[in-house]
Each structure stands twice: as structure tokens, then as C-alpha cells.
Structure 1
Amino acid sequence: MYQHSVSYFLEPLLAHHDPARVETFCYADVATPDAVTERLQKLSHHWRSTRPLSDEELYEQILGDRIDVLVDLTGHTGKNRLQMFARKPAPLQITYLGYPNTTGLAAMDYRLTDIDADPPGLTEAYHTETLLRLPRCFLCYQPLSTAPAVLDLPGKTMGRITFGSFNNLPKLTLSVIAVWSQILHAVPDARLILKVRWLEDEPTRQHYLDLFAAQKIPPQRVKLIGMIPDADHHLNFYNNIDIALDPFPYNGTATTCEALWMGVPVITLAGSTHVSRVGLSLLNAVGLPELITHSHQEYIATAVTLAANREHLANLRSRLRPQMAASALCHGMAHAQAVEATFHTEFSKWNL
């Protein structure tokens, strides 16, 4: 619970919980608290610093707090507490947000999602948990209050289209690079910007330039940017991008929301698993179904068509932030109400 992509989606939920219906306990394993930690702590009714606690001690703490619904935000990511969850300290245990897959734990009862990310009948076989589908997007995004302004379409001043992706490198598979290269071949004056912290490493940079070179994309058409530590400067770099390309089969989440907030349309390729349908869920929530594709060919064609219409791109850029702000993706109150209603319904079933 600090400056992390999960916090952008947790904060609006905590901020809009109804205190007459919900009493919140946050168990925070934070080594270095920051301003985000302080905000989240103020939004929680009870704050427990768990970093010094063993799994056994944390289990006893949760039992003592008499928690009805315990929500996991880490899954199989680093420093998780799944061994503690396996002991079942709460009657209902739900995994959410931080890990886009099943925990595989019999003790984890549910996974919170929505009908777009996990359509009924499509992904149940991949989960040990029962899927709880919210009526709207399973995510609610809170943009930075200090986010920079959306500037004019860079394609107008640069005289060429710039595609971009700020997603983590493991998502950039050979298939992704091949498809993105086909887009660059079809839009011969375009360039591609990739930004992620690992690109500060020279051998890593050269490796990715070599992968594009194998697709006959010269290095001058691919710009590689390393880490920009300041959040505002990071967001401001989207003002260099005309169109964002979502990787597949592992879509972006926070990066997609950031791009949209900065006026940059995101093209996604929907698949048949949760991680490959997050982009679909986000774009439907914002009201941009035309940016959702279902094949490599459609993905390429959508990117090429969008790049060819700069007037449309400029109009889309100017209206994206207010459109997103008014959408389900940024409606914290409605999201919190939906989550509360879902939790109450499932707990009532258990408590019969």
C-alpha cells in the first residue's frame, strides 16, 4: 500500500465505502511508507502494519479482528501472504487486483472480476476460485490529481504518427513485436516508442532493437526510453504518443488507464483468458469498443486506419479525458457500492 499501480485502483474503493455498511481493516506490508501510504491509511477505519509479523502472527491478528471478508491484493506476486490465506483466517476470502490469475488455493473462495474480463463459460476452468462478476468493470481508476494537461496531437507537429507502449518487457513477446512491426511497415513514416525501466540497460536495449531488426525495422524507427521516476513526468511523456498499442496476450492495466487519461487511444487484442481481456473491459467501460480487436489482422488494420485519420485522432485526443472521467471506469461511488453489494450477498449466503 504505497506508490504502486494497485493503489490507483484501491484508493477509490476505500474512499467511497459506506461506513454504515462496511468497516475496513487494511493489513499493510510496507517497507517504506510514502504519501500514498498516508492517504490510504487515512481512508481506512483500522490500519495494521504487518511487515514485522510472521504468517502465524498475522493469522492470529486477523482472527482477533474478526474479519468477515478478507481480500488478497497480491496473489503470487512478491512478498505475498498466500501461506497465511491457506489457513483461512476469515470465513470468506477473495482475491482481487494485484494478480490477474487464479491463486490455486482451495482456501481462496472467490475472485472478483466482470463479465467482459471473464465471460460466463469462458474462463472458469482456469480458476480454483468461484468467479464473482461485478455488473460493470471490475476496476475503478483514480488518476493522479497532478496529472499534466493533454497537449495537441504530436502527429500534427511532428508530421508523422508515433505509436507507443509503456508496458513491462515480459509482455513484449516475439508475436507482439512481429505484429507491431507489420504496423510500422504499413505506416512507413511512423515510429514506435517503448518506455520501461529495464531499457536503461544497454544489452537489453540492443536485444530489443535486434528483435525489430529481424522484422526489417531499422533502429531509427524504434525509440527506447528507460525509467522516468517522477510520476508527473512519466505521464507527460504520453504527450509524445499518438496511439498506444496494448500487448497481447497479457494486456496492460494501469498503463492503459494512464494512456487514456492522457488522451491517447489504446488498441487492444481480446483473447480467451482474463489477462488477454482486461483491455476489452477497460475500453468498454470508457465507451471505446471500436478500439477492441479480435485477431492480428484486425489489430493491424485498426492501427493503420486510425493512423491515417489525424483529424479524428485529434478530436479523440481532446475528448478522451472528460469522456473517461464521466465513465464507469472513474465512478468510485458506483464501484464501491457494487463491491459492497457483492460482498454482502456472498456473506449472507455463508451466514445463513
Structure 2
Amino acid sequence: MDDPRHVMAEAIAARQAGDLSASARWAARLAELLPAEPVVRQFQGEVLTELERLDEALAAFEQAVALAPAEAGMHRACAFLAVQCARPDTALVHLEAVAALGQETSDDLANRADALVALGRGQDAIEAYGALLRHRPDSVDALIALSSQLIQARRHAEAEPILRHALTLSPDDGGALTNLALVLLHRGEADEALALARRATERTTPHLAALLARAQAEHRLGHAVAAQNMVDAAERLAPEGNVYIADCAATTLTALGRVDEAILRLRRTLATPQRLPANILSSVTGKLLFCLQYVPDLPAAAMVAEARAWNRLAIGITPLAPAPRSWEPERRLRIGYVSGDFRQHACAFYIEPLLAHHDKSQVEVFCYSDVVVEDSHSQRMRASADHWRRTAGLTDAALAEAICADGIDILVDLAGHTSDNRLFAFAHRPAPIQVATLIGYSATTGVDAMDTLLGDPFLTPMGCEAEFTETVHRLPRIIAPFLPDARWPDPAPEPPERTVFASVADPARLDARTIALWARLLDAVPDSRILAKHNLFDDPEATELWRRRLGELAGRVDIEGIPGGWGRNMGFYGRVTAVLDSPLHSGNTTVLIPLWMGVPVISLPGPNAWQRAGASILSNAGLADLVARDDADYVAIAARLAADRGRQIDLRQSLRPRLRSSPVCDGPLVVGDIEAAYRGLWRQACRRQT
């Protein structure tokens, strides 16, 4: 019974007869009898693989490898099983052993690249796919895999020629069409991207990635319902908790006002155990933080806790060694600004005057621009900076190293948790003082590497410190100056005869409370109407959806899109009496632009920073009487204004001069406040060095 030859014969016979369980038992006995024989462990592993007992099979092959480490075939079997067992780290060890033996084939190289992707080692995967393409230059699969990693690493420009080559080899390949659509979306060419994504999704069996790329393109073009339809189709192809679907669905659902569903999907996804690149988890967490700002009465502690969850993604990042610098408290400071919005964008109304009014004898300005396609706004901002670094293709680590090499003293983030942010670069701690702002994002970052947040007396009033993980530094007036577009027309000479209240807020901000306030206001001013204007309403399907959501109120609310963009629609402000800021999430440009066009804005601040922007702007403009204390006061202020045509006319004529002479538009004054804050932070840092 214990004769190894007899046991081996029984094991082989059982396997040939199809009795794999018996064969596995004989193989286990044989391994006990011949523990130093690698071929026995190999046989045992093969039988266990056929039984789909993969973890045991992998253990058997690893024992075989330990006995015969120079056998490349054994390593390959281990790598194959490790992949099946979702252990890419183990697969990589064995594939690297094959390479070290000098027996790596192109298949091994492809598998090694795939394992590196699974481990989130994007740069190593890029190098491996590059090596694979030197063996197989016309491998469409390898070209697409390489392009995917380049896109993941923000190196879209490098991915484009690779994808165009893939499409010359296989013109209808869904993966190549999808990835090229993503490259074009990144460059702002949404129409061309949609055409490619449609080709990819019109295949007999469209891939998940193609559906999501099309959803992004549809959303970018304002086709909100079509975008959600693509997300729904993607969801039917993937298990619940798929991170890429949740990331895309958060955008499309929020656009349709279905924020609760977006939050549910994001939470469910984040609770699903899965190995994912940090930047994908960062995007999903950032979307959750964005959606939470649309939750009525969200406690400050809840937002802080969620932001701290993002911080855990950065725990493994090692801070860079500090660059040598002079700790002279009064010397000229090197200030770095990091943003993807140095272009035509709502944030540019603040960033451009901020850069333009810096005192160059006091500060040397570095801009780290993630803008892919620069425009005239970019050029003006570039002219105001001392140094302009184009960073769109850099990894976060490479960006941090560049910032450190520039010797930046104070590094300022202008993005927060908005899409494609660079918070991971800040986590490398490239500057001794790192500052968050409320220009591009209206809440705490929750990031350990952020030292200070610049606020003002209205956005960050005394007692709000628990809302932020950063130390709050209050500027004396407002967080940034506003620069109106010189192309905007003069205000209409008089307000309309009939009272028309307007909403220009993102419809996602129109929650049940806001709509109830509209109903109260329309009752208080019986002959009035409300006009909701937003580019979402360029989509007839989305417009109809919102009409149904308004219910009985729909008969007194007009809904309009913005065909051709706001540049062609500025005459709209001559048709309205006042603009209603959303209590759920206050606006910045949706408050400032109406005021500049001579239209008063009524705002109702709330307990969180994102609900207080309107109050800050109005107070700084000397219009604190338009800031309501509560719901009843909000309705009363609007009703009084509707009844006072004399004041309407006065405001129509005086609002623009009032803004121009107030801190709101006083670039030198407000930037002076900001520079004083920087100097104070620097002096504190210098004292800590002594």
C-alpha cells in the first residue's frame, strides 16, 4: 500500500477514469511518501486544478517550485493559478522568476503587465506593455492595454497615437474606440468623443467601458437622460458595487436631481471589498463628498468624517525630503497655485484677478496647470504668473517633486475634491506650508497635509472650526476678488413690469425645501412667476422630468435652457425681477453675475460653508438686507422687493457701480489681504524653525 509506484499508478488510473477526488487522495498520499519530488507536487496540483480547488492547487505548485526553482513551467503554472485566486502579487513573483531564468516569452510578458495593472503599479505596467509591443508591435490588445494605463496616469496625449494605430489595425475595435473617446473627452472634444463611443456601444455586445464612456460624453453635451440610460445599461452588465459604474452614476444621477440614489450607490461601492487604484477610489470618494453637499441639514461632523475617509487613501505616501530654503521671515515668498481651472471656467472669475494683483516685490508666483487645452483665459493668467508649469501629464509624485524642486514656500490648492484634483500631490508634502481655499470646493479637504484653509467672516464665521480639519484663517473681507467678463452687456435700464423671480442654480440644488419656498413665494406675490434657466433644460427629456417633479407648481414655473451658452443669453437678466439663491447650496457666480447685470439676489445661508457663499457676496457688496434669517424672512424679503418698484429700478442702475466699488471686485484690496495671510503663515513657520 505504501509502495510509491503503486500509489502513483492508482492516482493516474483514477484520474484517467474521471474519478478526480480519488486521484487527489492518492496524490496526497504520494506527496507524503515522496516529499522531495517536484513532479509529484506538480501532478497533485494538476488534479486539484481539474477539481477547481484552486487555492490547494496553487499551494501544491508552490511546493513544486520550492523543490525545482529553475523550472519555468512550474512558475508559469503558479502564476496562472495565482491570477485565478485573485492574488496578482503572487502571480507577479512567479512571472518575474521566469524572466530571471531568461525564459520569458511574450505571453509571460503580457501576463506580467496584467499583474502589474491588478496591483495598481501603473508605471511599471506601462513599461511592461511597452516591452511587449517591441515583441508584438501590432498587437491591438497590447496597444489598448497600454493606452488604458496611460489614460489612468493622465498621459492622454501619449495614448492618442497608440489608439489611432490600433484603429488602423482594427477599425471597429470597441476598446480602441472607447479609449480614444476618453482621450477626446479629456481634451474637451465631446462631440467627436460621442461619435466614437456610439460606434463602440452599437456593437452586438457593447463593453461596460464603452457604455460608461458614452454616458460621460452624453453628460458633457447636456444629454442628462441619455447619459443615465447608458449608466443603466452598464449596470445590467456588471455586479453590484462596480466602482466605475458608481463613479459615473454619481454624476448622471446628481444632474437629474437623484442625489439620494447617487449617495446610496457610492456608499455601497465603497463598502464593497475590492483592490482598486488609489486614484479611482479618490474619484469615488470625491463624488460622495460632492453629493453630500446636497443633503439637507447635513451635520458638519458627517462631512468631516467622510473627508477623513479620503485621507486614509494617502496614508502610505511618504513625504518628500524638505528642499533647502532660507527661513528669513520678510523675504520674497514663492507661492504655488495648483489647479485644472486655469481656463474658461467659473473659478477663473476669481483666479484671474488673484494672479493679476499679486505684488511681485513680495511674492513670486508659480502656477501648476493641469489644463489640457489652453485658451485665452489661460494665456491671460499665464501672463500674470512668474512661472507656468504645464502638469497635465505628470503623476502626482512627479508633480510633487517638481513643486519641491521649485522651492515653493506656500502651496495653494484651488480644486479641493473636484474631479482630477491633485490632493495626492499635496500628500507628498512638497511645500512647508500647504493651504486649502473655498474657491473651487466649498468644504474641508480632510487631508492631513493641508495646514490652513482661507475663509472669511461669512463663509467661515466664528465657531465654525469644527467644520474643517484645516486651521481656519479668516481673511477680513472675502476669499477672492471677482473679475466680470468685459463682453457682458450693460444692465437693462429697468426691471420688467411683471414680477419674475429666477433660478439659475444647478437643478440638483432644487430640493423639496427650495420648491416649497417657491410655492410660498408665489402665493405671497400672486401675479408673479418663477423662471428656471439652466443648460440641463436644453435637453427636452430632462425638462419634462423636472416639470413632473414640480407637480402642481409647474403651471407657474417656466423652464428654459441656455442654447448657445450664456454668452448668447445675457439678455435673460433684463426679463427678471430678482434671482433666488438656493438654500440647499448657495451659488458663487450664480449670485455674482446677476448682481453685475443689475438683478438683486436673495440668499438664505445655512449651517455649512457651501450654504453661505451668497451671504458673503451680498454682505461684502453692502446688500446684507437681502440675506434672510430663515424661510419666512426669505419669502418676506422677496415679496417686499416685488412690491417696491422704486427699489427695483434703483438696484438695476446702482448694483454694478456698487459691486465695482466694493471688496467684491477690488482685486488689489482682497489680494493684499491674501498676501498678508501668506506672510503671517510664513512668519509663524519661521518662528518654529528657531
Query: Are the equivalent residues in 2 in contact too, given 1:235–1:258 (CA < 8 A)?
Result: no
> CA separation in 2, counterparts of 1:236 and 1:328?
26
Alpha-carbon offset, residue 133 of structure 1: 0.4
Q: TM-score, normalised by structure 2?
A: 0.49
Alpha-carbon offset, residue 124 of structure 1: 1.0
Say which of 315, 334, 337 aligns to 2:669.
334
Per-residue CA distance 1:10-66 (angstroms, 9 max, x = gap): 111111100000000001111221110111011111000010111111011101101
> CA separation in 1, counterparts of 2:602 and 2:481?
20
* Aligned twin of 2:354: 13
Query: Are the equivalent residues in 2 in contact too, given 1:271–1:294 (CA < 8 A)?
Result: no
> CA separation in 1, counterparts of 2:377 and 2:554?
41
> CA separation in 2, counterparts of 1:134 and 1:140?
12
5 Å-filtered alignment, 1:101-112, equals: 101-112=443-454
Per-residue CA distance 1:178-218 (angstroms, 9 max, x = gap): 101211122122111111111122232122222322xx324
* Aligned twin of 2:371: 30
Structure 2 residue 419 is the aligned partner of structure 1 residue 78: yes
Alpha-carbon offset, residue 86 of structure 1: 1.2
5 Å-filtered alignment, 1:202-213, equals: 202-213=540-551
Q: Which amino acid aligns with 2:425?
A: M
* Aligned twin of 2:597: 262
Query: Are the equivalent residues in 1 in contact too, given 2:495–2:649 (CA < 8 A)?
Result: no
Query: Are the equivalent residues in 1 in contact too, given 2:495–2:648 (CA < 8 A)?
Result: no
> CA separation in 1, counterparts of 2:532 and 2:518?
11
More helix by share: 2
Q: What's the RMSD between the two structures over aligned residues?
A: 1.3
* Aligned twin of 2:433: 92
Displacement over 6 Å in runs of 4+: none
Task: Select the structure of larger CA radius of gyration.
Answer: 2
> CA separation in 1, counterparts of 2:523 and 2:682?
54
What's the secondary structure of 1:198's corresponding residue?
helix
> CA separation in 2, counterparts of 1:319 and 1:102?
36
* Aligned twin of 1:50: 391
Q: Which amino acid aligns with 1:271?
A: G
Q: Which amino acid aligns with 1:278?
A: A
5 Å-filtered alignment, 1:1-352, equals: 1-96=342-437, 97-121=439-463, 123-156=464-497, 160-213=498-551, 216-219=552-555, 221-352=556-687
Query: Are the equivalent residues in 1 in contact too, given 2:538–2:563 (CA < 8 A)?
Result: no
Alpha-carbon offset, residue 229 of structure 1: 4.1
Query: Are the equivalent residues in 1 in contact too, given 2:496–2:574 (CA < 8 A)?
Result: no
> CA separation in 2, counterparts of 1:8 and 1:229?
20
Query: Are the equivalent residues in 2 in contact too, given 1:181–1:212 (CA < 8 A)?
Result: no
Q: Which amino acid aligns with 1:72?
A: D
> CA separation in 1, counterparts of 2:410 and 2:668?
20
Give the fraction of aligned pairs with identical amino acids, expressed as a percent.
Answer: 37
> CA separation in 2, counterparts of 1:107 and 1:267?
37
What's the secondary structure of 1:293's corresponding residue?
coil
Q: Which amino acid aligns with 1:320?
A: L
Q: Which amino acid aligns with 1:49?
A: R
> CA separation in 2, counterparts of 1:226 and 1:318?
27
Aligned length: 345
More strand by share: 1
> CA separation in 1, counterparts of 2:564 and 2:362?
39
Q: TM-score, normalised by structure 1?
A: 0.95
Query: Are the equivalent residues in 2 in contact too, given 1:177–1:211 (CA < 8 A)?
Result: no
Per-residue CA distance 1:291-345 (angstroms, 9 max, x = gap): 0101111101111111111121111111110011011101000111110010010
Alpha-carbon offset, residue 231 of structure 1: 4.3
Query: Are the equivalent residues in 2 in contact too, given 1:153–1:242 (CA < 8 A)?
Result: no
Per-residue CA distance 1:153-191 (angstroms, 9 max, x = gap): 3422xxx11111111122111111110121112212211
Per-residue CA distance 1:254-298 (angstroms, 9 max, x = gap): 110001000000000022221111111100110001101011111
What's the secondary structure of 1:269's corresponding residue?
coil
What's the secondary structure of 2:676's corresponding residue?
helix
Unpaired runs of 5+ in structure 1? none
Q: Which amino acid aligns with 1:189?
A: D
> CA separation in 2, counterparts of 1:229 and 1:60?
42
> CA separation in 1, counterparts of 2:367 and 2:647?
45
